[in-house]
């Protein structure tokens, strides 16, 4: 089957084609309009999706070497995400399906992050997924295809959200998470011990206190700007250690609890270099296989939507034209 995947949950307009021979294209149109606001503006995001979705889809189809007539089904992000952004992608996907009389597949964005690991690899079931992004932080026991048990999640800020908010406190440009990671590679992670919350709770996370701790730490400095000029990389490294230590400790708990032989990283924060390194150490320590997507498949993209749709099609998990978007996982 030739699956067209469409992703528009936040501020990336993306399209991809996945066939029985694998991924054929993966196009992402980013939205620079949000940089001046230091975060995603939902109304501007949906408008930008509306302007770019057709040419993004067309580019994905052209790069795959097929035509729209060759598409057998359309997989589209159903949620979670920004409602306006989701509606643009979903309405476009329905239009394609109705015009071509082909089936629709509604994809859970968080599931897609997990199945991004199947683009280049084939993780063995069961496995534990540490899914970390700007909006979610979860530990999921994946027992089989779409047989998922949520072990725990964040009670407040997600890990990616913490990176971005702390980066903003440090004066870094949006999105700050990748910049914090880049600078942390040149800093001393032992420069300061920032708090690590909820270590006694096996699978739950909390990162809002870390953001507050960094805020007060900076306010305590006599010359804040000079302090940042001298130690910005060290602070980034220390913040990265605090976040990734918690993530990996919880992942270890999950591996020991479930007795799985494979673990996967998923979501935008799985691109973080310190997290990747610590996950590799954990995998070696526990004697388990580790799977991490290529960097291109970590952040929001349509390749993960297309492959998840391909797996859903094999399971006969089609939707109808009454498919509705959902903004959060608590639907």
Residues 246-301 pLDDT 10s: 999 999 999 999 999 999 999 999 999 999 999 999 999 999 999 999 999 999 99
Residue in this structure with the two tokens 């952004």, named with its chain if needed: 85
298 contact partners, CB below 8 Å, separation of at least 6: 116, 266, 267, 268, 269, 270, 271
Asked which of 34-48, 114-128, 180-194 is least confident by mean pLDDT, the reply is 34-48
| pLDDT digits 0-9 by tens, 233-249 | 999 999 999 999 999 99
Contacts of 132 (CB under 8 A, 6+ apart): 138, 158, 159, 160, 247, 265, 266, 267, 268, 269, 270, 275
Mean pLDDT of 131-135: 91
Do residues 85 and 10 make contact, with C-beta atoms less than 8 angstroms apart?
A: yes
CA angle 198, 202, 207 (to 5 degrees): 30
3-state secondary structure 68-88: HHHCCEEEEEEECCCHHHHHH
Instruction: Determine the Cα–Cα distance for residues 89 and 109; give it in Å rounded to an integer.
Output: 13
pTM: 0.94
Structure tokens at 207: 């990162």
Is residue 37's pLDDT more than 70? Answer: no
Computed over every residue of the chain, the mean pLDDT equals: 95
For residues 223-248, b (16+ Cβ closer than 10 Å) or e, as one string?
eeeeeeeebbbbbbbbbbbbbbbbbb
What number is the average pLDDT over the span 25-41?
Answer: 79
| Residues sharing a CB contact under 8 Å with residue 53, sequence separation 6 or more, in sequence order | 6, 8, 13, 15, 88, 89, 92
**145 among annotated binding-site residues:** no
- Please indicate if the annotation marks 234 as binding a ligand: no
Kindly state the average pLDDT of the residues 56-75: 97
Confidence of residue 49 (pLDDT cuts 50, 70, 90): confident
DSSP code of 319?
Answer: B
At 155-185, the pLDDT tens digits run: 999 999 999 999 999 999 888 999 999 999 9
Query: What was the pLDDT predicted at 43?
Result: 85
In percent, how much of the chain has pLDDT > 70? Answer: 98
pLDDT for the residue numbered 201 = 76
Q: For residues 304 and 40, what is the distance between their CA atoms, to the nearest angstrom?
A: 22
In this structure, the strands spanning 262-266 and 127-132 are parallel
One-character DSSP codes across 105-172: EEEEHHHHHHHGGGTT--PPSSEEEEEE-SS-EEEEEEEETTEEEEEEEBSSS-HHHHHHHHHHHTTP
CB-count burial class (<10 Å; 0-12, 13-18, 19+) for 50 = middle
Q: Is 202 annotated as a binding residue?
A: no
Is residue 275 a contact partner of residue 263, using CB atoms and an 8 Å limit? no
Average pLDDT over residues 304-321: 97
Q: Is 181 annotated as a binding residue?
A: yes
> Over the stretch 82-92, which tens digit does the pLDDT of each residue have?
999 999 999 99
CB 288 within 8 A of CB 2: no
To the nearest 10°, the Cα dihedral for 5, 2, 290, 184? -40
Is 132 annotated in a binding site? The answer is yes
Answer yes or no: is 272 a known binding residue: yes
pLDDT of residue 161: 93
Length of the chain equals 331
Q: Is 164 annotated as a binding residue?
A: yes
Check if the beta carbon of residue 204 is closer than 8 Å to that of residue 214: no
Say whether 49 counts as a known binding-site residue. no
Band of residue 38 on the pLDDT scale cut at 50, 70, 90: confident
Alpha helices, H only, the chain: 42-64, 83-100, 109-115, 159-169, 176-184, 208-219, 224-258, 273-286, 303-314
Asked whether the predicted pLDDT for residue 331 surpasses 50, the reply is: no
The DSSP element (H or E) to which 289 belongs, if any, is strand 289-291
Task: Give the chain's domains with CATH numbers.
Answer: 3-114+297-314 (3.30.420.40), 124-292 (3.30.420.40)
């Amino acid at each position: 089957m030739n699956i067209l995947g469409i992703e528009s949950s936040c501020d990336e307009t993306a399209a991809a084609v996945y066939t029985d021979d694998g991924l054929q294209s993966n196009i992402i149109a980013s939205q620079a309009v949000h940089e001046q606001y230091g975060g995603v503006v939902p109304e501007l995001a949906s408008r930008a999706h509306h302007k770019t979705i057709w040419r993004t889809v067309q580019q994905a189809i052209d790069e795959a070497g097929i035509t729209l007539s060759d598409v057998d089904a359309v997989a589209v992000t159903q949620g979670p995400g920004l409602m306006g952004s989701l509606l643009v992608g979903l309405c476009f996907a329905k239009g394609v399906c109705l015009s071509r009389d082909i089936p629709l597949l509604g994809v859970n964005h968080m599931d897609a992050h997990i199945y991004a690991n199947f683009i280049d690899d084939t993780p063995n079931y069961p496995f534990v997924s540490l899914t970390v992004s700007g909006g979610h932080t979860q530990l999921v026991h994946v027992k089989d295809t779409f047989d998922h048990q949520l072990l725990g999640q964040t009670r407040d800020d997600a890990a990616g959200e913490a990176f971005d908010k702390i980066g903003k406190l440090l004066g870094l440009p949006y999105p700050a998470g990748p910049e914090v990671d880049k600078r942390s590679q040149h800093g001393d992670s032992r420069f300061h011990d920032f708090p690590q919350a909820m270590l006694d709770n096996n699978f739950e996370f909390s990162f809002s206190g870390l953001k507050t701790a960094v805020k007060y730490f900076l306010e305590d400095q006599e010359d804040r700007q000079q302090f940042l000029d001298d130690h910005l990389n060290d602070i980034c490294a220390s913040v990265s250690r605090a976040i990734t230590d918690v993530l990996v400790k919880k992942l270890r708990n999950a591996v020991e609890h479930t007795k799985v032989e494979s673990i996967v990283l998923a979501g935008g924060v799985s691109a973080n270099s310190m997290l990747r390194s610590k996950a590799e150490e954990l995998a070696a320590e526990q004697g388990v296989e580790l799977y991490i997507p290529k960097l291109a498949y970590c952040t929001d993209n349509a390749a993960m939507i297309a492959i998840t749709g391909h797996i859903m099609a094999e399971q006969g998990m089609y939707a109808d034209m009454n498919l509705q978007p959902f903004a959060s996982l608590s639907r």
